[in-house]
């Protein structure tokens, strides 16, 4: 099947938002999505965007029964490793179920890697839920290292009240 990987535009935000919701349902966390296409437009297409995004697009002849031609996305941003230097973090990689197994996911991930290499990034990082063995197997088959298994890293998060409390403990300027 022919598909095209391209940089997302502001006009793609409704499709990206739709697929973010689909991914959250797949990951059994649909109630966790708190943003809409408006926040994606604001945060990804401003003078200093918080993220970059690629979309996979199929031709009109292969569009979904709902009429969608944007069938996958990869959302990523740049980070910095104090040990290695510039890095790219892929927050999401999603392909609609009926388009999986056609090389679209690999194409999106490879393009993120290429964009990262062009920015002198030395690594591509991502996280996967522990029960999501199809995705974990996909990434490992492509050469990813499972750092939880090999190095024992844990992914931690501050949000909500914990983030507020931590921020309020900051020393005065």
Nearest to 55 by CA among 40, 65, 42, 66: 40
Catalytic site residue from 73, 80, 94, 139: 139
75: three-class secondary structure by DSSP: strand
Nearest to 24 by CA among 11, 33, 15, 16: 33
Whole-angstrom CA distances from 49 to 14, 30, 39 are 17, 25, 11
- Distance between CA atoms of 168 and 163, rounded to whole angstroms? 9
Nearest to 132 by CA among 18, 24, 51: 24
Catalytic-residue membership of 139? yes
Residues with catalytic roles = 139
């Amino acid at each position: 099947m022919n598909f095209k990987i391209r940089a997302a535009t502001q006009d793609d935000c409704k499709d990206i938002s739709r697929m973010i919701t689909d991914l959250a349902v797949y990951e059994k966390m649909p109630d966790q999505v708190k943003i809409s296409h408006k926040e994606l437009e604001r945060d990804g297409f401003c003078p200093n965007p918080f993220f970059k995004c690629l979309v996979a697009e199929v031709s009109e002849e292969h569009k979904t029964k709902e009429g969608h031609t944007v069938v996958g996305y990869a959302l990523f941003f740049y980070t910095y490793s104090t040990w290695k230097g510039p890095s790219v973090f892929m927050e999401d990689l999603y392909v609609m179920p009926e388009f999986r197994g056609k090389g679209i996911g690999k194409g999106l991930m490879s393009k993120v890697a290429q964009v990262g290499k062009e920015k002198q990034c030395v690594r591509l990082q991502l996280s996967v839920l522990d029960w999501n063995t199809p995705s974990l197997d996909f990434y490992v088959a492509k050469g990813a290292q499972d750092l939880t298994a090999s190095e024992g890293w844990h992914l931690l998060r501050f949000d909500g009240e914990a983030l507020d409390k931590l921020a309020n403990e900051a020393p005065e300027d």
